């Protein structure tokens, strides 16, 4: 038997074992913010009522993590800030894309080795301001931005866990599985699970 084929078989066996281990214990979802400026364009800053203050940035970070923990509550998935977690989503200022339009999130599933992804602070913050209800206070908009970032991260983590085919639900705009963050409920409504929840429970139900 050729040596290369032996190596492939061995590697496949190791990956299979890793895959079984990954789905029989509590898995980790690493979520953190890069060291970014959090600067917004002039018109968005005016709508918000001034530049983001440090305490507001910390509030956004806190609220986004709460959204993650709420979404995965009841599953054997622990949300952490560890950058070596099994699945990982980082908040970047903006995301690089081949599309001429900005994107809110992207992920790469690595199967039994976990996954990596990111969400874009800028586009999510702008949407959070844009979709603010009439008469919304500055605090309302800060909270909306935090929710929007956290929910975008939920979507990207679920891509990594289940894969794209099992994720999107274009029929339910108020679900985590909806294909776009360009919607009011991403920031100010209540989101719920639809098609992906049963699959998540099968893999990580308590």
Of the candidate ranges 17-21, 86-90, 134-138, 155-159, the one whose mean pLDDT is the lowest: 17-21
Q: Is the dihedral of CA 97, 125, 152, 79 positive or negative?
A: positive
Q: Which pLDDT belongs to residue 84? A: 95
Show the domains of the chain with their CATH numbers: 3-204 (3.40.390)
Q: Which pLDDT belongs to residue 101? A: 78
Confidence of residue 165 (pLDDT cuts 50, 70, 90): low
Is the pTM higher than 0.95? The answer reads no
Question: CA 83 to CA 81: how far, in whole Å?
Answer: 6
Q: Which of 96, 150, 146, 98 is nearest to 125 (CA)?
A: 146
**Mean pLDDT score of the chain:** 87
């Amino acid at each position: 038997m050729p040596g290369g084929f032996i190596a492939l078989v061995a590697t496949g066996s190791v990956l299979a074992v890793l895959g079984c281990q990954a789905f029989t214990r509590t898995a980790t979802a690493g979520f953190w913010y890069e060291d970014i400026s959090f600067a917004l364009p002039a018109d968005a800053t005016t709508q918000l009522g001034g530049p983001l203050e440090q305490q507001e940035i910390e509030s956004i970070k806190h609220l986004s993590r709460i959204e993650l923990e709420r979404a995965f509550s009841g599953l054997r998935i622990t949300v952490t800030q560890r950058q070596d977690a099994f699945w990982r989503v980082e908040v970047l200022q903006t995301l690089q894309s081949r599309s001429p339009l900005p994107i809110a999130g992207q992920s790469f599933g690595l199967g039994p080795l976990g996954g990596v992804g990111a969400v874009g602070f800028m586009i999510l913050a702008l949407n959070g301001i844009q979709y603010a209800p009439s008469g919304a206070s500055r605090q309302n908009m800060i909270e909306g931005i935090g929710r929007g970032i956290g929910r975008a991260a939920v979507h990207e983590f679920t891509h990594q866990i289940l894969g794209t085919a099992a994720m999107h639900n274009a029929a339910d705009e108020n679900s985590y599985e909806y294909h776009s963050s360009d919607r009011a409920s991403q920031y100010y409504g209540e989101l719920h699970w639809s098609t992906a929840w049963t699959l998540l429970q099968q893999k990580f139900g308590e």
